[in-house]
Chains A and B, each alone.
Chain A
Amino acid sequence: MKIVVCIKQVPDTNEVRIDPKTGTLIREGVPSIINHDDKNALEEALQLKDKYEDVHITVLTMGPPQADVALRESLAMGADRAILVSDRAFAGSDTWATAKTLTAAVKKIGDYDIIFCGRQAIDGDTAQVGPQLAEDLGLPQITYVTHLEIEGNKVKAHRALEDGYEVLTTEMPCLLTTIKELNEPRYSSVRGIFEAYKEKTVEMWNAKDIAISLEETGLNSSPTNVRQTFTPSPKGQGMILEGNGRDTVSELLFKLSEKHLI
Chain B
Amino acid sequence: MNFNLTKEQEMVKTLMREFAEKEVKPIAADIDEEERFPRETVEKMARYAMMGIPFPKELGGAGGDTLSYIIAVEELSRVCGTTGVILSAHTSLGAHPIYQYGTEEQKEKYLKPLAEGKYLGAFGLTEPNAGTDAACQQTIAVLEGNHYVIDGSKVFITNGGESDIYIIFAMTDKAKGTRGISAFIVEKDFPGFSIGKIENKMGIRGSSTSELIFENCIVPKENLLGQEGKGFGIAMQTLDGGRIGIAAQALGIAQGALDECTKYMKERKQFGKPLAAFQGLQWMYADMATKVQAARFLVYNAAMKKDQKLPFATEAAMAKLFASETAMEVTTNAVQIHGGYGYIREYPIERMMRDAKITEIYEGTSQVQKMVIAANLLK
Interface residue SS majority, chain B: helix
Partner of A197, one of B8, B48, B49, B72: B8
Q: Provide the main secondary structure of the chain A interface.
A: helix
Q: Which residues on the A side are within 8 Å of B47 (C-beta)?
A: 189
Interface string of B34-65 (1 = CB under 8 A from A): 00000000000001111001000100011110
Extra inter-chain contacts (15) besides given A187-B18, A187-B48, CB under 8 Å? A72-B7, A76-B11, A187-B15, A189-B48, A190-B50, A190-B62, A190-B64, A192-B49, A193-B62, A194-B8, A194-B62, A194-B64, A194-B68, A196-B8, A198-B8
B1-44 vs A, CB cutoff 8 Å, 1 = contact: the mask equals 00000111001101100110000000000000000000000000
Could you say which residues of chain A place their CB within 8 Å of the CB of B48? 187-190
CB contacts (< 8 Å) of B6 on chain A: these are 197
Which residue of chain B is the closest to A31 with respect to CB atoms? B14
Binding site for A on B (CB under 8 A): 6-8, 11-12, 14-15, 18-19, 47-50, 53, 57, 61-64, 68, 72
A191 within 8 A of B: yes
Q: How far is the CA of A112 from the CA of B19 in the complex (A)?
A: 33
A72 vs B15: C-alpha distance when bound (angstroms): 13
Q: Does A73 count as interface, using CB distance less than 8 angstroms?
A: yes
Give the distance to chain B from A172, nearest Cβ to Cβ, in Å: 30
Chain A residues whose CB sits within 8 angstroms of the CB of B68 once the complex forms: 190, 194
Which residues of B lie under 8 Å from residue A72 when comparing CB positions?
Answer: 7, 11
A87: Cβ under 8 A from any B Cβ: no
Shortest distance from the beta carbon of B42 to any chain A beta carbon, whole Å: 15
Binding site for B on A (CB under 8 A): 31, 69, 72-73, 76, 187-198
Residues of B within 8 A of A190 (CB): 12, 15, 48-50, 53, 62, 64, 68, 72
Q: Is the CB of B18 within 8 A of A193?
A: no
* Given A72-B7, A193-B8, A197-B8; A188-B15 close (CB under 8 Å): yes
- Would A197 and B62 be within 8 Å (CB), given that A187-B15, A188-B48, A190-B15 are in contact? no
Q: Complex Cα distance A188/B49, Å?
A: 9
